[in-house]
Structure 1
């Protein structure tokens, strides 16, 4: 029996890993919300894609959000865990290191074009090791090279007090508590937390909270949540205030951005 490469609840046996002859292998699984994947790694690169559902991937001290019709690049040997935010149709594309479409050594969330979506769907139902599979693989690799990266990630700290503060905000993104109020909840001074944000995360408290809200907003909008509800769930006083924040980051309004993505 083949030895599992992963040690947790989504093993990939050596017989299913990509090779030089078959540099891309697709693993398709439909998972329920309770089927989180414990920390593990792969000797190959991986594109994790969900045509339906929402994922949260934790790797490199960062939380990466993967909404529907988006994908995340996970470099070889990167320890990561996957949390399902909804029931998800998980499509894991394992790619041989010598055929890696991305040179980035850190995770990236990528747009999935309509063409790439159809290619992955076709690959799932294509005869293994056939001429058709080889053609599909080549075009998939080309599409991944052209895929647009998206800033829907959130760096997380190591300091226990700062990590507790960040987790409080993630659990309640609508909270507008000041840093002074939050400091009392985690047993540290506002000055200490300000210094830790800069030292560990290379950003201010306000910038981190905005990044957290932006990442959550992307998930909500991609899932079809009305813009007014998104603004309310993230603590913005109005839909226009939220749209202004989104446009400052992406250069276009939320409706224009998702219309272009679609």
Structure 2
């Protein structure tokens, strides 16, 4: 059984953007089930993985994203990162004035174009103190940064967040479901896990999250299914991993939730 690892944020101040270097890149390999403690900073952040899925959590939402997606984190928003599987994590730190406007003050999921991935990979990922740059290196970096900002502004936002409650008991249950979405089935099983009646659990979901247990769990399962589909897993494997008895039962859930079959939803999402 894999052991969970937990670490503080990896020296973010050593990569802090400055007026001279308003955009900084960082890379880090995270093993499966590695947690980076909740933290915040005065600059904005874009986080995604070149390989492997990651989960980015705030007080109000959690985002489960495969390599084709990134999470935008505005300044001063406390967040934590979990490696759902071994991943090559990439982080961009940006001064807030690089992307002004109301839309950039909110956390959200963005589509990562192939060009954006290549640009991020090409940016120097070096902490302070920075080595001297030649004029040619400085010009190349400036061009890469300008191109990256263009790609970020063109990136399509995606509604892939899962809301999280403030109630401590319900929060613990939601966190357990996030860790192992397919371990238990319906409302009765998860209510027993929480030591509450199904009626009480149903009421908490309505009061805290404005949705039913079934609707919230469907959103959670869709987010996990996206990470499995991004790795090319067949529908039967995805269904089994998420606790469905058959691929047809999983297909029915996806179709009921998003109004289209999984093959089309995964292609469009």
The TM-score range, normalised by the shorter chain, is 0.7 to 0.9
Partner of 2:3: none
The aligned length equals 254
Partner of 1:107: 107
Matched, 1:144 2:143: no
RMSD: 2.8
Alpha-carbon distance, 1:39 to partner: 1.2
Contact 2:184 2:243 in 1 (8 A): yes
Question: How does the TM-score come out when normalised to structure 2?
Answer: 0.82
Q: Distance in 1 between matches of 2:268 and 2:61?
A: 27
Superposed, which structure 2 residues align to 1:1-262 within 5 Å? 8-13=8-13, 16-33=15-32, 35-100=34-99, 103-124=103-124, 130-174=138-182, 177-247=185-255, 253-259=261-267
SS at match of 1:36: strand
Superimposed CA distance per residue, residues 145-170 of structure 1 (whole angstroms, 9 cap, x where no aligned partner): 11122333222222233234334433
Alpha-carbon distance, 1:260 to partner: 5.7
**Mean CA deviation greater in 91-100 or 251-260:** 251-260
Alpha-carbon distance, 1:214 to partner: 0.6
* Structure 2 unaligned spans of 5+: 1-6, 127-132
Partner of 1:3: none
Alpha-carbon distance, 1:108 to partner: 1.3
Superimposed CA distance per residue, residues 113-149 of structure 1 (whole angstroms, 9 cap, x where no aligned partner): 1111111122238968712211211111111111122
SS at match of 1:110: strand
Q: Distance in 2 between matches of 1:180 and 1:28?
A: 42
Structure 2 CA distance for partners of 1:257 and 1:142, relative to 1, 3 Å: farther
SS at match of 1:158: coil
Superimposed CA distance per residue, residues 73-130 of structure 1 (whole angstroms, 9 cap, x where no aligned partner): 1111111111112221111101111012672433212211111111112223896871
Structure 2 CA distance for partners of 1:111 and 1:254, relative to 1, 3 Å: farther
Alpha-carbon distance, 1:205 to partner: 0.9
SS at match of 2:232: coil
